[in-house]
Amino acid sequence: MFKYLKQLTSLVAMVAVLFTFTTETMAAKKSKTLKNTQKKGFVRCGVSQGLPGFSNADAAGNWTGIDVDVCRAVAAAVLGDASKVKFTPLSAKERFTALTSGEIDILSRNTTWTLSRDADIGLTFVGVNFYDGQGFMVRKSSGITSTDQFKNGISACTNIGTTTELNMRDFFNSRGISYEPVAFEKADEVVAAYDAGRCDTYTTDKSGLAAQRTKMSNPDEHIVLPETISKEPLGPVVRQGDSVWEDIVRWSLNTMIEAEEYGITSSNADMMKTSDNPAIKRLVGAEGEMGAAFGLDNDWNYRIITQVGNYGESYKRNIADTGILPDRGPNELWTKGGILYVPPAR
């Protein structure tokens, strides 16, 4: 009896092994990250420690934001379920180490794409999901309405480990203004110190300023100055050395943006399957073999659109409707006067 049982189990095991080998595609074999993600059953995503609109957790621990949606899109594409994401909140200082050491697989944390980060430290930026620029916030009562009114000796609160520190120096130096930089490790600490009156101005990405303003004890007492002192293209980052995973994340983001361009939304994606336009059909998995190259099935992009929505839906839900930045500005599609432009999915 036991003898047969033993044989039976080994047979089952052999079949199982064979089965996994055959279902495992070439791409999955090439991409260690994809294989690990599918084995674990969740996408490991690094996010901020709380930036409304981008990545922010509510009291129940549910994460929302446009950065969060990028990770959800990847989860929908590779695992079939947008909720299968494990979020790791990271400080600006920790984020790159967490990614390069393999603690997370995607860093989607309002991170600026710069040459040195892309080239030096083992990272690859896959795209831009928010075009931003650094600005300044001041108290309304100070009467300052432009950075031209800044005077010698101004104290500026900011985060360490960001491009902000460098831009701030360039800005003040080029104008010959002496300043006192007060740099904290966490965004909440910066806000608390500025709010208490430690600094005359708070500087970071404008989207961040708009989002953090909602956390102040009295948001109406503060204004964001109109000047933008730097280019801050924010986007998701992956580890260098896994080009298939890099492609999956890049095209998950591109799918969301292109879906908006073609008017495909989470609610009409089903109808779009029978569209006359081949470009639309490709985006909902009804034509072509768009997933095969990544080792995914054909419905990967359809799942992104139905489960997460297109970029416009994500923006509206997270940033416009929450009152952070109702005006899309440069983050409008290129067809509508913005600079959001992605390569075609074909």
Residue 44 in contact with another protein, rule: CB under 8 A: no
The span of 17-25, 51-59, 112-120, 314-322 binding another protein (CB under 8 A) equals 112-120
Scan residues 119-138 and list those touching another protein (CB under 8 A).
120-122, 138
How far is C-alpha 246 from the geometric centre of its chain's CA atoms? Answer: 14
**Count of residues near another protein by CB under 8 A:** 49
**Residue 165 tokens, joined:** 């520190």
Residue 227 in contact with another protein, rule: CB under 8 A: no
Nearer to another protein by Cβ, of 61 and 176: the residue is 176
Nearer to another protein by Cβ, of 131 and 184: the residue is 184
Residue 146 in contact with another protein, rule: CB under 8 A: no
**Choice from 36, 173, 243, 268 touching another protein (CB under 8 A):** 173
Query: If DSSP states are collapsed to H, E and C, what string results for the chain?
Result: CHHHHHHHHHHHHHHHHHHHHHHCCHHHHHCHHHHHHHHHCCEEEEECCCECCCEEECCCCCEECHHHHHHHHHHHHHHCCCCCEEEEECCCCCHHHHHHCCCCCEECCCCECCHHHHHHCCEEECCCCEEECEEEEEEHHHCCCCHHHCCCCEEEEEECCCHHHHHHHHHHHHHCCCEEEEEECCHHHHHHHHHHCCCCEEEEEHHHHHHHHCCCCCHHHEEECCCCCCCEEECCEEECCCHHHHHHHHHHHHHHHHHHHCCCCCCCHHHHCCCCCHHHHHHCCCCCCCCHHHCCCCCHHHHHHHHCCCHHHHHHHHHHCCCCCCCCHHHCEHHHCCCECCCCCC
**Choice from 9, 10, 97, 214 touching another protein (CB under 8 A):** 97
How far is C-alpha 68 from the geometric centre of its chain's CA atoms? Answer: 6
Scan residues 239-258 and list those touching another protein (CB under 8 A).
239-241
Scan residues 189-208 and list those touching another protein (CB under 8 A).
189, 192-193, 196-198, 200
Nearer to another protein by Cβ, of 61 and 197: the residue is 197
Q: Are residues 224 and 212 in contact, defined by beta-carbon separation less than 8 angstroms? A: no
The span of 69-77, 94-102, 246-254, 330-338 binding another protein (CB under 8 A) equals 94-102
Residue 226 in contact with another protein, rule: CB under 8 A: no
What minimum distance in Å lies between the beta carbon of 56 and another protein? Answer: 22
What minimum distance in Å lies between the beta carbon of 41 and another protein? Answer: 25
What minimum distance in Å lies between the beta carbon of 155 and another protein? Answer: 6
**Choice from 117, 215, 231, 316 touching another protein (CB under 8 A):** 117
What minimum distance in Å lies between the beta carbon of 110 and another protein? Answer: 15
Residue 185 in contact with another protein, rule: CB under 8 A: yes
Q: Which residues bind another protein (CB under 8 A)?
A: 92-93, 96-97, 100, 116-117, 120-122, 138-139, 141-144, 149-151, 153-155, 157, 160-162, 165-166, 168-169, 173, 179-186, 189, 192-193, 196-198, 200, 239-241
